[in-house]
Amino acid sequence: MPDFSETELRRFVVDLFAARGMSAGDAGKVASAVVWANLRGVDTHGVVRLPRYMEMIDGGLMNMTAEVTVQTAAPGGLQISAGRAAGPVAMDFAVKQLLPCAARQGIAAAFVSCTTHTGALGYYALQAAEAGMACIAVNASIPMMPYYGSSVAAMGTNPISFAVPAAPGNDPLLFDMATSVVSLGKLVQARRTGTPLQPGCFVDANGQPTTDPAVATMTLPLGGPKGSGLSLMIECFASLLAGHPIIADALEKTGKGSRHRQNVLLIAIDIGKFVDVDYFRNEVTRLADAVRALPRTVAADAILMPGERGFKTMAKRRAEGIPVPPAVLKELGGLAGRFAIAPLRVLDGKAPSSVS
Amino acid sequence: MPDFSETELRRFVVDLFAARGMSAGDAGKVASAVVWANLRGVDTHGVVRLPRYMEMIDGGLMNMTAEVTVQTAAPGGLQISAGRAAGPVAMDFAVKQLLPCAARQGIAAAFVSCTTHTGALGYYALQAAEAGMACIAVNASIPMMPYYGSSVAAMGTNPISFAVPAAPGNDPLLFDMATSVVSLGKLVQARRTGTPLQPGCFVDANGQPTTDPAVATMTLPLGGPKGSGLSLMIECFASLLAGHPIIADALEKTGKGSRHRQNVLLIAIDIGKFVDVDYFRNEVTRLADAVRALPRTVAADAILMPGERGFKTMAKRRAEGIPVPPAVLKELGGLAGRFAIAPLRVLDGKAPSSVS
């Protein structure tokens, strides 16, 4: 699998979105979010999404020049109207508005409504943690998995993310889970290879359990009623509190129902308002160290903190390059041709320059 | 199994805590929380806990006359020091402080530290929803389940709860899940009956999977790294942000480590600051109706909303009485004797009077 530098992948994404009419500044925000996912090994949210993003632009679902606006709804709350901006553009705006508000109030919430695919939700929670805050984020999307007991797609795989900073020199804790039992990416992968699916994770179009990747269409909610209930509550908090329902429109098949859009609720807590920041950071690392030192099961090679695998993959891929599968490269080559931008240049064996 | 009225169970709990030196007002708060769990069918958090609560008082773990104090840490944040008060006493205080703060700020957080067993976390999130607010609550406790990859108890089964009000005449949505795959109560039940445990849910003292209730000691985290990561983040948010670590003390076996205590983070959002309240409530019910109307799997009798089973059980038990198993009754009889209070009187066949 050919490897690419972070710089080159970023260059490609920036060129692509600029060719579609996005400002260089905004294209840089999209590139940072997309390539961050690849760097961390969350390849399902990386450059593999670019063809779909181009379709969204073609179909009027993603607006390259959307005006993202903020309405201060309450001392601790912001309503942010994204107007179908690219997810990373709307979310970058939201984080920048949210953090000073949390610093004043101790806790603040930003509702980001009618944005498009935000990518990896943890990317934004991490920004709050890197600014020294604690963050809870939830993301509502269109139906992709059954509600517990239903045979059809009813809920988004709505992720929930938590992030906190740790002691200096230690990675933050970054938790980011979908409310599905496994990601849909595993199905896409199994379809390519023909490998049977893990039992209990997927169903077909009629809601019947299956391990056959050829007939599986949906992933099941994590823990049945737990995952689907959590997803439903995320719709209530991220969508309904912002006045932008997604699921009811989709299930009632209204005109708005089938159009891709996402809503996000970000909550930031200014740690220093509640406890000494250095104490907190040291306690996070003390906790992580105590858990890492526990006796392990025979099957476990290591005990990992939330986000740890991603931080390790990031260090490795920054040093060695980011692998992109040939099938994805072929699609990206097609985009380069269509939008007259330079195709991706493979790493020439030299260490790539890092972009912070 | 003998049935008891809500009034009689409340009377018993009030008498019991009053006999231990608690004020009548505070004993009423404890009784409401304990009997609420029984009414909703969450019997693991009901009167079955009373013997353990008495042990906590005996051992100095629960303080009948603790002073619960609040320190306003920020415009939107409250630090509440519970001083080992009974959970429902500290939490009642916290909810009463939190809601006016959220009404001013749009969003507010209450950190309740060093309380004792809070009972069913959803009880407090529901109070916010009944006051017309949206609520997120997380509860940190001592180690009871392995962290993913560890063979020993490392994490609390730390619950997370979400509640929102619905249209008038409809029950709120009340989501309340433990971060374990199933509750420890199932193990207690299986031990009594000798029934094999569901595979993949329990491990023995060495972290080895087992279906034998005689050797099982711990429930596994929900979805492996998802449940244990979520539990770890709840410890960071509910305990470390309040300056009261639980897990690190327990794992490092410090003096404080083995003593029961809990910390809670409650976040309330004043819906009306962000969206029209009637619109929101109607949208919650529209969403619930759309999901309930979905085609069902062959195995599903009904599609239930978060908390719906509990509301139904509550209506039934208010009308017909609350069953209490003979083994529990025997223990409660022992407590009545020890503390010289009237024993529980079984329902005489007449409908019990309701207590709101």
Closest CB from A74, A111, A241 relative to B280: A241
Closest CB from B108, B233, B290 relative to A306: B233
Handedness of CA A14, A17, A23, A29 (dihedral sign): negative
Chains A & B: contacts with CB separation below 8 Å:
275
Residue for token digits 């006016």?
A: B100
Give the mean pLDDT of A222-242.
97
Question: Residue B285 above 60 pLDDT?
Answer: yes
Residue B217 has φ and ψ, to the nearest 5°, of -125, -25
**pLDDT attached to residue B352:** 45
Q: What is the pLDDT of residues B114-156, one digit of tens each?
A: 999 999 999 999 999 999 999 999 999 999 999 999 999 999 9
Structure tokens, A191: 């379809």
Determine which of A32-36, A104-108, B72-76 has the lowest per-residue pLDDT on average.
B72-76
B186 pLDDT band, cuts 50/70/90, is confident
- B306: which chain A residues are within 8 Å (Cβ-Cβ)? 225, 229, 232-233
State whether B150 and A295 contact (CB < 8 Å).
Answer: yes
Instruction: Look at the pTM and tell me if it is higher than 0.90.
Output: yes
State whether A233 and B173 contact (CB < 8 Å).
Answer: yes
Task: Say if CB B9 and CB B341 are below 8 A apart.
Answer: no
Structure tokens, B303: 């599609």
Q: Does A154 touch chain B (CB under 8 A)?
A: yes
Give the mean pLDDT of A285-295.
98
- Residue A103 Cα distances to A242, B236, B292, angstroms: 22, 19, 41
Closest CB from A108, A233, A300 relative to B149: A300
Structure tokens, B147: 């962290």
Q: Which of B81, B287, B296, B308 to mutate to probe the A interface, most A CBs <10 Å?
A: B287
Give the mean pLDDT of B94-118.
97
Task: Say if CB B197 and CB B210 are below 8 A apart.
Answer: yes
Question: Residue B349 above 80 pLDDT?
Answer: no
State whether B269 and A241 contact (CB < 8 Å).
Answer: yes
The B residues from 245 to 284 touching A (CB cutoff 8 Å) are 245, 247-248, 251-252, 267, 269-271, 273-276, 279-280, 283-284
Structure tokens, B318: 């208010």
The angle formed by the CA atoms of residues A116, A342 and A92, to the nearest 5 degrees, is 30
- Residue A175, strand partner residues: A162
State whether B75 and A241 contact (CB < 8 Å).
Answer: no
Q: How far apart are CA B128 and CA B110, in angstroms?
A: 12
Nearest to B147 by CA among B235, B229, B247: B229
Structure tokens, B18: 């009053």
State whether B303 and A74 contact (CB < 8 Å).
Answer: no
DSSP state at residue A299: T
Closest CB from A134, A148, A229 relative to B237: A134
Q: What is the DSSP string of A310-342?
A: HHHHHHHHHHH-EE--HHHHHHHHHHHHHTT-P
Q: Which residue of B has its CA nearest to A205?
A: B297
What secondary structure, in 3-state letters, does A247-277 show?
HHHHHCCCCCCCCCCEEEEEEEECHHHCCCH
ipTM of predicted assembly, 2 dp: 0.96
Question: Residue B11 above 60 pLDDT?
Answer: yes
A183 pLDDT band, cuts 50/70/90, is confident
Q: Which residue of B has its CA nearest to A233?
A: B162
Helix (H, G, I), strand (E, B) or coil at A343: coil
State whether A109 and B269 contact (CB < 8 Å).
Answer: yes
- B269: which chain A residues are within 8 Å (Cβ-Cβ)? 77, 109, 237, 241
Question: Residue A207 above 70 pLDDT?
Answer: yes
Q: What is the pLDDT of residues B302-321, one digit of tens each?
A: 999 999 999 999 999 999 99
Q: Does B170 touch chain A (CB under 8 A)?
A: no
Give the mean pLDDT of A189-211.
90
The shortest C-alpha distance from A186 to chain B (Å) reads: 16
Q: How far apart are CA B90 and CA B118, in angstroms?
A: 8
Give the mean pLDDT of B25-49.
96
Structure tokens, B11: 């009377």
Task: Say if CB B140 and CB B262 are below 8 A apart.
Answer: yes
The shortest C-alpha distance from A255 to chain B (Å) reads: 16
The A residues from 42 to 81 touching B (CB cutoff 8 Å) are 73-77, 79
Question: Residue B353 above 70 pLDDT?
Answer: no
Contacting residues for A319 by C-beta, under 8 A, at least 6 apart? A351
Q: Does A185 touch chain B (CB under 8 A)?
A: no
State whether B290 and A247 contact (CB < 8 Å).
Answer: yes
- Helical ranges in chain B per DSSP H: 6-19, 24-39, 50-58, 87-105, 122-130, 184-193, 225-234, 247-251, 277-292, 308-320, 326-338
Q: How far apart are CA B206 and CA B225, in angstroms?
A: 18
Q: Is A83 left (phi over 0), alpha (psi -120 to 50) or beta?
A: left
Nearest to B305 by CA among A235, A209, A161: A235
Determine which of A287-301, B247-261, B342-356 has the lowest per-residue pLDDT on average.
B342-356
Average pLDDT, chain B: 94
Q: Which of B162, B204, B234 to mutate to probe the A interface, most A CBs <10 Å?
A: B162
